[in-house]
């Protein structure tokens, strides 16, 4: 017998960190998300404050799958700890491995990113990440986003 799925989201603001949690109970269409987002520095590159430049540390809990999403501008990341499974749904991402090898990850491809690997996500590129391990993944991220939009825009999988 199939169990009913329940999702319990919690949003907690604490010392500039955002923690988003939800729990899943056996449904393949739900996800488990547990991510800490801490802004380390930010500023507006122009006086009109239409864009915001941020340096952020993300901590992705073990066994966490993020929803399919996009960003309202460019984001670059570097893996500081752990292994991130990263999938491009639409568009392409540029990866630089720790050994200096550069790769283009096209639509429909998945890659394992480890310590020292970096990633360039152009604005509007649709993707998701997953921590399939028992240890946290830590990412350092710099982004230049439109200031009046959310940092991540969730995409309905049917509309990808």
pTM of the full structure = 0.76
Token duo for residue 156: 């309905």
61-115 residue pLDDT tens: 999 999 999 999 999 999 999 999 999 999 999 999 999 999 999 999 999 999 9
Torsion angles phi and psi, residue 159, rounded to 5: -105, 10
Domain extent at residue 73: 36-159
Q: Is residue 10 part of a domain?
A: no
Q: What value, to the nearest 5°, has the Cα angle with vertex 115 and ends 63 and 9?
A: 30
In percent, the amount of the chain with pLDDT more than 70 equals 77
Q: How many domains does the chain have?
A: 1
State the CATH number of the domain containing residue 63: 2.60.120.10
Q: Is residue 114 part of a domain?
A: yes
Average per-residue pLDDT for the chain: 81
Spatial distance between the Cα atoms of 94 and 88, rounded to a whole number of angstroms: 10
Q: Is residue 11 part of a domain?
A: no
pLDDT, residue 157, reads 65
Question: If pLDDT is split at 50, 70 and 90, which confidence band does 150 have?
Answer: confident
């Amino acid at each position: 017998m199939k169990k009913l799925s329940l999702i319990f989201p919690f949003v907690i603001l604490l010392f500039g960190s955002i923690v988003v949690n939800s729990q899943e109970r056996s449904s393949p269409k739900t996800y488990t998300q547990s991510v800490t987002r801490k802004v380390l520095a930010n500023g507006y590159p122009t006086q009109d404050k239409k864009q915001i430049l941020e340096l952020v540390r993300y901590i992705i809990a073990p066994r966490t799958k993020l929803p399919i999403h996009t960003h309202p501008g460019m984001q670059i990341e570097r893996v500081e700890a752990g292994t991130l499974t990263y999938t491009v749904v639409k568009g392409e991402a540029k990866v630089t491995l720790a050994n200096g090898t550069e790769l283009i990850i096209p639509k429909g491809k998945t890659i394992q990113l480890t310590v020292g690997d970096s990633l360039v996500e152009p604005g509007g590129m649709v993707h998701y990440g997953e921590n399939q391990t028992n240890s946290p993944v830590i990412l350092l991220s710099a982004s230049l986003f439109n200031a009046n939009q959310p940092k991540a825009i969730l995409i309905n999988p049917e509309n990808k």
